[in-house]
Amino acid sequence: MRYYSTRNRNDPVSFAGAVLTGLAPDGGLFIPEEIPQYRDAVRTSLGTMNFCDIAFETIKPFVYPEIPDPVLEELIHSAYPFTAPLVAVGDRQVLELFHGPTAAFKDFGARFMARAFSYLRRGEEQPLRILVATSGDTGGAVADGFYGIPGISVTVLYPKGRVSPLQERQIAGLGGNISALAVEGSFDDCQRLVKAAFGDETLKKRLVLSSANSINVARLIPQGVYYTVAAGRAFAGAVHEDGEATPRTAEGAPAASGRKRGNFRVAPGEPITFCVPSGNFGNLTAGLYAQKMGAPIKLFIAATNSNKTIPDYLHSGSYEARPSQATISNAMDVGAPSNFERMAAHWSLEEMRTLIRGIAVYDDETRRAIEGVHRTFGYFLDPHGAVGWEGVDKLWDQQLLEDGPLAVLATAHPAKFGETVEPLTGKIPVPPSLAQALDRVPHARTIPADISALTAAL
């Protein structure tokens, strides 16, 4: 597979060239020259294949021939000792993406990326410096995924005071080859600084730089796996049992809440709709890739918080980036989503309107969803998953959704946001991975949102 910049199709590069560079020299994002298709034998077996086998079939065409099949199999099994269960909650499903070591969906991309980087750079003498901007969960997942990987160091930039205490411990509490910079600004400022560093020719001569944000295609591609796994399972008419980290109690009534909804349960032979809590739009882009490859997916819902750049674009046809606004779903506080550039390179506005419904959810509505879902079903949602849940309800009220299987992506464990969730639900069961992180002491250097400060720190 070859990759080219969203801004220039004339200079394609290899998979290794794309992922080790991170951002294209012209400032664009790398995208594959084509989105491959699942083999017929794979499509007809998705309901019974295990997670790692689907991961192999999903990732292989994107990395061939640079990562040989035996190596790819080893990387996948090392990266994914966990899965993403699709569980039933009330009148719909929840795709739980928090069963990895940092209890967030970013584990799926970061752990594969770390292992791919290590393989692709085997034998290199000069160390690789990973730069990553985070609004919350990305930093912790990248720090964990790359921790202790020889020949690679990571610098994580996060907006000071705008991540949860637990997220800060995951980002800045490991030490070793992981360092953290607390930026006096927003996530957009962090992202701008990372992009500026990649464009700094003097810095690039001194350091070998790459990225681990969703601007890096090596993190994006593996995220398509859990969409295909869940879609295949639902198409077969089945869901999973609760996993070890599933945040469900015995509380709550089995009946639906007072707001009457449609029939969103799985049914054999019916494609599923995914509601994706969205900020930088890498997760939704990965889902679009999975759908294009042949996963039985009907529709996507892009549920944002008050940073509603993409829902507004889908409605008006005019893309207007804007400064981010702080919300209780902080990992989605993105006013200029980077991956929109990828989406626009692959799909026209009219195609996106066919594939995606956009909806914005505000903090008071998010809190209402957290409280209502727990009271009614005994299930804990984090603020991001709650945006997705409430987005489904709002679209149904507006008569913009039809009956059919539907899953909300739960992108992080609610225990990561106890200060927001527990006043609405009571005590959240904490999974072992997060209990360990709570004991860490964060160590970060504070810098202004200025490229010269970042350069000096590096």
The pLDDT, as a whole number, for residue 139 is: 87
- The residue with greater pLDDT, 329 or 438, is 329
> Cβ distance 331 to 387 under 8 Å?
no
Distances (CA, A) of 281 to 60, 104, 284, 365: 23, 15, 5, 21
Does domain 1-458 fall under CATH 2.60.40.10? My reply is no
The pLDDT, as a whole number, for residue 316 is: 96
DSSP SS3 for 298: strand
Distances (CA, A) of 146 to 52, 103, 128, 142, 267: 20, 16, 11, 6, 40
What average pLDDT does the structure give for the chain? 93
DSSP SS3 for 271: coil
pLDDT surpassing 90 at residue 311:
yes
The pLDDT, as a whole number, for residue 187 is: 84
456 CB-near residues (< 8 Å, 6+ apart): none
> Cβ distance 146 to 212 under 8 Å?
yes
Q: Average of pLDDT values for 16-25?
A: 88
pLDDT surpassing 90 at residue 340:
yes
Closest by Cα among 147, 152, 167, 98 to 122: 152
Model confidence over 137-149: pLDDT tens digits? 788 889 999 998 8
DSSP state, residue 183: E
* Measured torsion, CA atoms of residues 196, 456, 184, 176, in degrees rounded to the nearest 10: 100
pLDDT surpassing 50 at residue 256:
no
pLDDT surpassing 90 at residue 313:
yes
The pLDDT, as a whole number, for residue 382 is: 97
User: Band of the pLDDT at 367, cuts 50, 70, 90?
Assistant: very high
> Cβ distance 13 to 4 under 8 Å?
yes
Q: Average of pLDDT values for 167-191?
A: 93
Model confidence over 71-130: pLDDT tens digits? 999 999 999 999 999 999 999 999 999 999 999 999 999 999 999 998 998 888 888 999
Query: 3-state SS of 148-178?
Result: CCCCEEEEEEEECCCCCHHHHHHHHCCCCCE
Q: Which of 8-12, 49-53, 224-228 has the lowest mean pLDDT?
A: 8-12
Closest by Cα among 37, 74, 83, 79 to 58: 37
**pTM score, two decimals?**
0.90
* Measured torsion, CA atoms of residues 71, 77, 79, 84, in degrees rounded to the nearest 10: 140
What ranges do the domains of the chain cover?
1-458
The backbone torsions φ and ψ at residue 129, rounded to the nearest 5 degrees and listed phi first, read -110, 115
pLDDT surpassing 50 at residue 257:
no
The backbone torsions φ and ψ at residue 34, rounded to the nearest 5 degrees and listed phi first, read -155, 155
The pLDDT, as a whole number, for residue 259 is: 55
The pLDDT, as a whole number, for residue 127 is: 87
